[in-house]
Amino acid sequence: MYHSDNLDKLVESLARFPGIGKKTAQRLAWHLLGQDKSFAFELSETIKTTVEAFKPCSLCLMIAESDPCPICSSIERNRDLLCIVEHSADIQIIENMNEYHGLYFVLGHLLSPIDGFGPNEINSESLKARISELKPQEIILALKPSSEGEATIHFIWEILRDSGIRITRLSTGLPFGGDLEYSSSNTLRSAWTRRFSV
């Protein structure tokens, strides 16, 4: 049976992408090897350049090419609204709805003690500082409906329940355990429009 340490390492690296299993990673690896080498070299250079250009915004922690990010620095955003998401990619999904024009905060992870993600790993101190600075009228918890999402929502609610800030979450319609990125625009828009108080 053919074996290559270099190929195995490439497959393992590709399999680290979300939604990419070992078989798909193997197909991608063989595809890269079967192309003109210039394609792989150009791809690796693009990845390197892009990764080096992006860094977390010091205000919202969204990964962006500028600090503050374009959303935090925009004078057109509604500063009375703060939407809390898990990942930077979730912001693009919400922006695509054209329903929301407030600010964001990126947790980076959801609470999951079994996986080693506690309050420090979800940037809770930075979140409290950002809320204290902005004093928003409403905080929208746009987190995926899962056990980790529910634990995180409860944790944030405990921190803010005496703040007088309206705290809302997305309505039902999003499948339990599903990510925002796998929801249709109509499903997400409906869940957004019908959000309710925590």
- Flag residues of the chain having pLDDT under 50: 174, 176-178, 182
Q: For the segment 23-54, what is each residue's pLDDT rounded down to a tens digit?
A: 999 999 999 999 999 999 999 999 999 999 99
Predicted confidence at residue 84, as pLDDT, reads 96
Taken in order 127, 130, 131, 136, the sign of the CA dihedral is negative
Say how far residue 91 (Cα) sits from the centre of its chain.
7
Look up the CATH superfamily of 5-53: RecR Domain 1 (1.10.8.420)
Sorted by where each begins, the domain ranges of the chain are 5-53, 56-197
Predicted confidence at residue 113, as pLDDT, reads 84
Assign domain 56-197 to a CATH class.
alpha beta
